[in-house]
């Protein structure tokens, strides 16, 4: 097989065979195919697209390019959730113990990553003692016993995706539905998921700015999943404003605890219930979304969801008593309110810009080597659609530096107050095939 023939075939709009796709991925990963040919093929895919069979073949070729985590020692259907990213997205912290409390095993492998706040692991490390450096045997044992555990990234997962994503980043080929969908799905499948629930975000704080684009990506991922034998569902949810009220690491852990107690922000709670219901259905613990939701509501009401979080933290050497006393979480030295300069209704809170402000406080990483400050961040008191009086607090800034005019200025530029605004639709669509 010659790479140039594969490039020309795709350039001319023909479908590639499974063998051609496997040849490309294997030879590119091993270094036999140079970057210039791989980028040429990526550009051809960008313009000519791929059919469902090609997308499934590309995904599985990338899965098989490295280690595949074997979770077969864990009983039950392992459901993984993936969010395409956003600002102040606290859902994993709530979902993991919540669905575990109704018997769906959550075997989460997580990374740190770059962003406005840390990743799930960073957030959890704001609980004294908690760590993810556990052996794979211990991980399996904990999930079988308590239904939930988190382990740091292990193994050499999807090296083909790593290499190709890096190349796409500098060749104008990131924004291609078949390439994004196969990239995301390959990582989930290599991490051992039997079933996958996807939260595809849309809005200015998201990768996909419009509902149409988000829907196309969701459909692509759902059909890849189902074509390769992983039950997959997706929702399209709003990320025009931050999710929930807290943006920051310890602040989001506190918000997660409140949500597990049934006292969380309305939007975060609704998103968690929607995603959680899907996880319970694909996990085989309820026959439909309605029955699943009732199970989850009961787990919050009777305290079992909160107990599941406590046990999970303690199993990984964390101080579980934070669920009773959130003041044990790291606290920033200064808490400074941002006051509204006029009366009216909040019409816009630009998610991305709020994320940048939390980054300026030190909540996130710009490069892999950066330290993050777990205590800092932002807590919103008003969301889009809320009315506000002049001089009322829009939000509180949690900071370890006293001088924060730069952050205040950024925040003032990111929030619009006008005569009328509506609460945005949180869940645009549910996609099951
Ligand atoms: N995120 C991924 O993991 N892959 C892509 O291609 C785009 C976003
Ligand atoms: Ca939040």
pLDDT digits (tens, 9 = 90+) for 24-45: 999 999 999 999 999 999 999 9
Output the pLDDT for position 206.
81
For 426: left if phi > 0, alpha if psi spans -120 to 50, otherwise beta; the answer is: alpha
Q: Which two tokens stand for residue 104?
A: 């769906």
> In angstroms, what CA-CA distances link 425 with 107, 235, 299, 408?
31, 13, 26, 28
Residue with tokens 């959550």: 106
Helix 266-282 vs helix 249-260: crossing angle, to nearest 10? 70
Signed CA dihedral, 372, 375, 378, 379: sign only: positive
Q: Please tell me the residue having the least CA distance from ligand 1 atom 2.
A: 184
Q: Please tell me the residue having the least CA distance from ligand 1 atom 3.
A: 184
Nearest ligand 1 atom to alpha carbon 184:
3
Q: In testing the pocket of ligand 1, which one of 157, 183, 224 has its CB within 8 Å of the most ligand atoms?
A: 183
Return the half-sphere exposure (C-beta side, CA atoms, 13 A cut-off) of residue 331.
9
Ranges of H-type helices in 170-320? 177-190, 211-227, 249-260, 266-282, 289-301, 304-315
Do residues 233 and 221 make contact, with C-beta atoms less than 8 angstroms apart? no
CA nearest neighbour of 142 among 308, 316, 309? 316
- Buried b / exposed e across 378-394, counting CB within 10 Å, b at 16+? bbbebbbeeebeeeeeb
Name, in order, each residue with C-beta under 8 angstroms of 348's C-beta and a sequence gap of 6 or more: 240, 241, 384, 414, 415, 416, 421
Output the pLDDT for position 109.
87
Nearest ligand 1 atom to alpha carbon 183:
4
Nearest ligand 1 atom to alpha carbon 168:
6
Distance in Å, CA 397 to ligand 2 centroid: 14
Q: Which two tokens stand for residue 395?
A: 């939000």
Q: Is 185 touching ligand 1 by the criterion CB < 6 Å?
A: no
Q: Please tell me the residue having the least CA distance from ligand 1 atom 5.
A: 180
Do residues 242 and 265 make contact, with C-beta atoms less than 8 angstroms apart? no
Summarize pLDDT for 295-319 with one digit per residue, the tens.
999 999 999 999 999 999 999 999 9
Nearest ligand 1 atom to alpha carbon 174:
6
> In angstroms, what CA-CA distances link 116 with 81, 159, 352, 372?
20, 25, 9, 10
CA nearest neighbour of 231 among 198, 259, 205, 200? 198
Q: Could you give the CA distance from residue 379 to residue 262 in angstroms, rounded to a whole number?
A: 18
Q: Is 180 touching ligand 1 by the criterion CB < 6 Å?
A: yes
Three-class DSSP category at 331: coil
Distance in Å, CA 273 to ligand 1 centroid: 26
Distance in Å, CA 209 to ligand 1 centroid: 15
CA nearest neighbour of 391 among 381, 379, 377? 381
Q: In testing the pocket of ligand 1, which one of 59, 165, 167, 198 has its CB within 8 Å of the most ligand atoms?
A: 165
Output the pLDDT for position 204.
81
Q: Is 107 touching ligand 1 by the criterion CB < 6 Å?
A: no
Q: In testing the pocket of ligand 1, which one of 58, 111, 180, 199 has its CB within 8 Å of the most ligand atoms?
A: 180
pTM, to two decimals: 0.93
Q: Could you give the CA distance from residue 51 to residue 181 in angstroms, rounded to a whole number?
A: 12
Q: How far apart are the first and last CA of the chain?
A: 35
Q: Could you give the CA distance from residue 89 to residue 244 in angstroms, rounded to a whole number?
A: 8
> In angstroms, what CA-CA distances link 195 with 94, 218, 219, 286, 375?
19, 15, 15, 15, 34
Q: Which two tokens stand for residue 289?
A: 């979304």
Distance in Å, CA 139 to ligand 2 centroid: 27
Do residues 190 and 153 make contact, with C-beta atoms less than 8 angstroms apart? no
Do residues 160 and 129 make contact, with C-beta atoms less than 8 angstroms apart? no
Three-class DSSP category at 365: strand
Which burial class, exposed, middle or buried, applies to 316 when counting CB atoms under 10 A from its CB (0-12, 13-18, 19+)? Answer: buried
Ranges of H-type helices in 82-205? 91-101, 120-124, 136-146, 159-169, 177-190
Output the pLDDT for position 370.
86
Give the number of the ligand closest to the Cα of residue 87. Answer: 2
184 alpha carbon, distance to own chain's centre: 11
Low-confidence ranges of the chain (pLDDT < 70): none
Distance in Å, CA 173 to ligand 1 centroid: 11
Tell me which residues are annotated as active site: 82, 161, 168, 183, 187
Distance in Å, CA 189 to ligand 1 centroid: 14
Other CB atoms within 10 Å distance of the CB of residue 325? 10
> In angstroms, what CA-CA distances link 201 with 109, 115, 119, 181, 213?
21, 16, 17, 14, 10
């Amino acid at each position: 097989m010659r790479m140039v023939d594969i490039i020309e075939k795709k350039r001319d709009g023909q479908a590639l065979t499974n063998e051609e796709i496997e040849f490309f991925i294997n030879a590119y990963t091993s270094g036999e195919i140079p970057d210039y040919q791989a980028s040429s093929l990526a550009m051809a895919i960008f313009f000519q697209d791929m059919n469902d069979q090609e997308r499934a073949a590309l995904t599985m070729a990338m899965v098989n390019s490295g280690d595949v985590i074997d979770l077969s020692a864990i009983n039950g259907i392992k459901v993984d959730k993936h969010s395409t990213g956003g600002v102040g997205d606290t859902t994993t912290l709530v979902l993991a113990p919540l669905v575990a409390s109704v018997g769906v095993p959550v075997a989460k492998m997580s990374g740190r990553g770059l962003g406005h706040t840390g990743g799930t692991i960073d957030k959890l490390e704001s609980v004294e003692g908690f760590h993810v450096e556990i052996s794979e045997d211990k991980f399996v044992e904990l999930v079988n016993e308590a239904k939930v555990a988190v382990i740091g990234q292990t193994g050499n997962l999807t090296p083909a995706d790593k290499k190709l994503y890096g190349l796409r980043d500098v060749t104008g080929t990131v924004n291609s539905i078949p390439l994004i969908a196969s990239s995301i799905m390959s990582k989930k499948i290599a991490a051992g998921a039997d079933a996958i629930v996807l939260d595809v975000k849309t809005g200015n704080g998201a990768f996909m700015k419009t509902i149409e684009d988000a829907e196309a990506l969701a459909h692509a991922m759902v059909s890849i999943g189902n074509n390769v034998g992983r039950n997959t569902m997706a929702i399209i949810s709003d990320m025009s404003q931050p999710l929930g009220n807290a943006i920051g690491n310890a602040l989001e852990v506190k918000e997660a605890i409140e949500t597990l107690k049934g006292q969380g922000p309305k939007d975060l709670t609704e998103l968690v219930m929607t995603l959680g219901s899907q996880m319970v259905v694909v996990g085989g613990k309820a026959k439909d979304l309605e029955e699943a939701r009732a199970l989850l509501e009961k787990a919050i009401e009777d305290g079992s969801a909160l107990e599941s979080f406590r046990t999970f933290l303690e199993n990984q050497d964390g101080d579980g008593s934070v669920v009773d006393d959130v003041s044990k979480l790291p606290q920033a030295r200064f808490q400074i309110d941002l006051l509204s300069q006029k009366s009216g209704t909040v019409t816009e809170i630009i998610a991305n810009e709020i994320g940048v402000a939390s980054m300026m406080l030190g909540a996130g990483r710009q490069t892999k080597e950066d330290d993050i400050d777990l205590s800092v961040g932002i807590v919103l008191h008003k969301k889009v659609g809320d009315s506000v009086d002049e001089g009322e607090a829009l939000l509180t800034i949690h900071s370890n530096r006293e001088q924060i005019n730069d952050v205040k200025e950024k925040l003032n530029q990111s929030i619009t107050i006008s005569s009328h605004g509506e609460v945005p639709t949180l869940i645009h669509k549910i996609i099951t095939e």
